[in-house]
Amino acid sequence: MEQMKLRVPVVVKAKVTEDLKTKLIADVQQQLDLVNQDLQQIEFQAKRLLTEQAKIDAQGLLQVRQQIENNRSQRLQYKDELEQRMKETQELEVGVEIVRGTMDQMIDVKVGDDLDSLMNAEILLEDGKIVAFRK
């Protein structure tokens, strides 16, 4: 076998612009709004479930309360993470490059190729458009 096809990762980076920063902030804000809605829904359902469980079985009340508290704490933890991400996003400076994800690329390799150099590929975006390929 003289050569082989490989799938290698390509890092996708974006140059921060005012438009990108605004979009990232809006995305995080939308996620925060959804988490806040979830928390309100949990509070609403908690009152109903606790009332119903108290009528059925007082011992099961503790278990239901614990389940509600676990659900609430998970949402609050996620909200804290989102608030931290919002702060980081608001502090982004225009012009810096941020990692937006990875994609795969198919390459042909043969004996003697430097695999390390082939695996360090990057795509740079600016406002959604490709502005550079890097190796």
Q: What is the pLDDT of residue 58?
A: 66
For residues 85 and 135, membership in a common domain is answered with: no
In the chain, what is the straight-line distance between the N-terminal and C-terminal CA atoms, in Å? Answer: 26
| pLDDT, tens only, 59-116 | 667 787 888 889 999 999 999 999 999 999 999 999 999 999 999 999 999 988 888 8
| pLDDT, tens only, 1-18 | 788 999 999 999 999 999
For residues 59 and 85, membership in a common domain is answered with: yes
For residues 50 and 83, membership in a common domain is answered with: yes
For residues 63 and 9, membership in a common domain is answered with: no
Q: Return d(Cα 89, Cα 69) in angstroms, integer.
A: 30
| pLDDT, tens only, 35-55 | 999 999 988 888 887 777 767
CB 14 within 8 A of CB 125: yes
The residue ranges of DSSP E strands in 16-120, in sequence order, are: 97-110
Q: Give the HSE-up count for residue 130: Cα atoms under 13 Å, Cβ half-sphere.
A: 7
Q: What is the pLDDT of residue 117?
A: 81
For residues 88 and 98, membership in a common domain is answered with: no
- Domain holding 70, by residue range, is 18-93
For residues 104 and 71, membership in a common domain is answered with: no
